[in-house]
Amino acid sequence: MADKAFRIVRAGPGSRPVMLAIAGDSAAGKTTLTRGLVQALGPDNCVSICVDDYHRYDRAERRDLPFTALHPDCNHLDIMEQHLQLLASGQPILKPVYDHSTGKLARPERVEPNRYIIVEGLLPLHSKLSRACFDVTVFLDPPEEIRRGWKLARDTSARGYSREQVLAELDRRTSESEAHIRPQRSHADIVVRFAPIAVRDDPPGTPLSAELVLRPTIRHPDLGGVLANHRTMHVKLCRDTDGRPVDTLHVHGYVPTEESRSLEKAMWALLDQPGDVPDGLGVLGAEQRSEPLAITQLLLLFHMLDAA
Q: Does residue 106 bind a copy of itself (CB under 8 A)?
A: yes
Q: Measured from the CB of residue 185, what is the shortest distance to a copy of itself in angstroms?
A: 28
> Of the listed pieces 103-111, 150-158, 244-252, 300-308, which binds a copy of itself according to CB under 8 A?
103-111
| CB-based contacts of 143, cutoff 8 Å, min separation 6 | 193, 195
Q: Does residue 107 bind a copy of itself (CB under 8 A)?
A: yes
Q: Measured from the CB of residue 173, what is the shortest distance to a copy of itself in angstroms?
A: 24
Q: Measured from the CB of residue 271, what is the shortest distance to a copy of itself in angstroms?
A: 34
| Gyration radius of the chain's alpha carbons | 19
Answer for which of 17, 36, 96, 121 binds a copy of itself (CB under 8 A) is 96
Torsion sign across C-alpha atoms 116, 307, 6, 25 = negative
Answer for which of 13, 63, 110, 205 binds a copy of itself (CB under 8 A) is 110
Provide φ and ψ at 115, rounded to 5°: -60, -40
Answer for which of 86, 195, 307, 308 binds a copy of itself (CB under 8 A) is 86
For the purposes of burial, counting CB atoms within 10 Å of the CB of 276, is it exposed (0-12), middle (13-18) or buried (19 or more)? exposed
Name the residue nearer to a copy of itself (CB basis): 12 or 243: 12
Cα–Cα dist 18/115, whole Å: 6
Answer for which of 42, 90, 92, 149 binds a copy of itself (CB under 8 A) is 92
Note whether 77 and 123 are within 8 A (CB): yes
Note whether 70 and 180 are within 8 A (CB): yes
Using CB under 8 A, list all residues that contact a copy of itself. 56, 58, 76, 78-79, 82, 86, 91-94, 96, 104-108, 110
